[in-house]
Structure 1
C-alpha cells in the first residue's frame, strides 16, 4: 500500500482539507496524514489552526491565506506548488471555500494545471441538513445572510417561492433581526430549523413554524449564541386545508366590497398564499353563503 508520505513526495498537490467544526474527534485519519506530510499548510487564521495542529502534534509550517490577502498571496502558493511543493488548504472550521477563503487559490491552481485533491470531511451545511428533518433531495446553500435588513428581505423574497430547502449561515448578534425579516417575508407558518453549535457541548437543532421559532429564540438568550445554520423549508402550494381561519375571514370581508378575484389577490398578498387557491376556495365557500 502506498503511504501518504510517498505520494506527497512524488506529486505536488493542493489538498483541500476539512477540519472539525467543533468536536476535534471528527477529524479524519487521512486529514491528519495530509496535514502532517505536506510541505506547508495555508490557513485562514494561523493562530487558530496552530491550536489544532498542536493538539494532533503536527509540526508542519503554516502560511496565512485569508479573505484580505488571498488574491495577492494565491500566486505565491501557486509558484511554490509549481516548484514541487505540496500544500494543504484549511479554514478555521469545516470545509474550505464554503463561505471561507480558497476560491482564488483553487481557481489559479486549476488554470496552472496543478492537481487539486479534495478530502471529505466536516461541513456545517450538510451536518445541519442531515438532522433537520427537512427535505434533502433538493437544497441550496445561500451562504451568510446580508448584514442589512433590506438585503435580507430581498434574499427572502428571492427564495420565497423556491421549492427547495434553502440553507443560510447567520451570526448570533443578527439572529433575531434576521428571523424578524424572514417572518415579514415568508410568514409565520413556514417551517424553519435553527441548528446551533453543531458537534459542540451545547448543540441545539430546533425546528418549528417560523412564528413559534422566533418566540422560542427570544425567550432563551442561550439560543442567541454560537455558530448558527438556518434551514428553510421550500415553498409548498397551499391546499384548501392550509387556508387559515384568519385568511378565510379576510377573504370573506374583502369579497363583500371587491370582485372575488381582486379580494383573493389581496388576501394572498397579506397571508403569503396562492391567489388561485384562495379564489377556488372563495368560489366553493362564499358563492353559496
Structure 2
C-alpha cells in the first residue's frame, strides 16, 4: 500500500499529467500553462506539434519525445531524471494523456518508483461529445479506437452490442464509413448514434440519428476531421448475450472460441486482451503457456 500527498514537499521530482486543447487553444488552463513553464522537461507525444503550442504561449521549457514507438526505451530515462529531482510534464498531442494516447506505462513506472503522479484537469474529446450528444450521459462505457480490421471489429462489437451503457468510440475519417457499416451489421440499423466532428474548432458539428441515417450521411458527405462516436446502449439487453457467454470462459478458451469463429490467432489475442482489460503480451503468454501467473 502507498499513500501519495500530491502537494507535500517532494525529495524527488514529480510527474505532471497535463491535458492540452483538443482544438481551441483558449481551452488551455492557467494552471496547465504554469506547470509547463515551471517543470524541468516536457515529455511530448510529438515534439513538433507540442512546440507550436509552446510557441503560442511563449513557453521555453525543453522537450523530449515520448510516444508509442519509444516507450520502453524512454521510461527508464524519465524515471531516472525524476528520481534525481527533475519535475516532468507529460502531454499528448491533444486532450488527456493515457486516454487513447501514450502515458499509462509511464504512470505505472512512476508509481512503482515511489514518485508522485499529479494529474491536471482539462480537455477530453470523449466527455465533451458525450455531454452534448443528447444520449444518456451516465453510466457510460469508454472504448476508444476499435481495431482496424473488420473481423476484429465484428468480434468486439458483438461483445458490446448488449451493453446498457452509452458507449464512446474514437474514429478516423478514413475508417468512419466502414465502421458504421460494421456497426449496422452487428448491432442493427436502428440503434441511435451521435457523431461529433472537429470538437471545439470552427467547423464543430454534431450528426445525430440512427446508425442507418448517420451511415447514409457519411456516404453523401465529404468526411473530414477526427470523430467521436457516441453509441446508445441497448435498452432491451438479452440475457444470453455473447458478452455474458464469454465471461465464464478462461483466457485460453476465449481465444480458441474466437479462432474457431474464423479469426486469426493474433487478432483473437488482441480482442481478448481489450475485452478483459489485459495487456496483449499477458494474453499471449497465457495462451502459449509462457506465463506461470494466474489468469
Structure of greater Rg: 1
**How far apart are 1:8 and its partner, in Å?**
8.8
1:193 aligns with 2:191: no
Counterpart in the other structure of 2:225: 226
Contact 2:12-2:83 at 8 Å conserved across structures: no
Counterpart in the other structure of 1:117: 118
SS at match of 2:175: helix
Counterpart in the other structure of 1:134: 135
**How far apart are 1:86 and its partner, in Å?**
0.2
Q: Residues 40-64 of structure 1, C-alpha deviation per residue, up to 9 Å, x if partnerless? A: 0000000000000000000000000
Query: In structure 2, how many angstroms separate the alpha carbons of the residues matched to 1:36 and 1:48?
Result: 17
Query: In structure 2, how many angstroms separate the alpha carbons of the residues matched to 1:144 and 1:111?
Result: 28
SS at match of 1:234: coil
Number of residue pairs matched by the alignment:
231
Q: Residues 127-156 of structure 1, C-alpha deviation per residue, up to 9 Å, x if partnerless? A: 011111111121111110110111111111
Counterpart in the other structure of 1:14: 15
Query: In structure 2, how many angstroms separate the alpha carbons of the residues matched to 1:86 and 1:147?
Result: 37
SS at match of 1:42: strand
Counterpart in the other structure of 1:259: none
Counterpart in the other structure of 1:62: 63
Counterpart in the other structure of 1:164: 165
Counterpart in the other structure of 1:253: none
Q: Structure 1: which 5+ residue stretches go unaligned?
A: 1-5, 239-289
Query: In structure 2, how many angstroms separate the alpha carbons of the residues matched to 1:9 and 1:234?
Result: 45
Counterpart in the other structure of 2:51: 50
Contact 1:109-1:115 at 8 Å conserved across structures: yes
Query: In structure 1, how many angstroms separate the alpha carbons of the residues matched to 2:229 and 2:115?
Result: 36
Give the alignment's TM-score, normalised by structure 1: 0.78
Query: In structure 1, how many angstroms separate the alpha carbons of the residues matched to 2:9 and 2:40?
Result: 9
Structure number with the higher helix fraction is: 1
With 175-184 and 146-155 compared, the bigger mean Cα shift is at 146-155
Give the alignment's TM-score, normalised by structure 2: 0.76
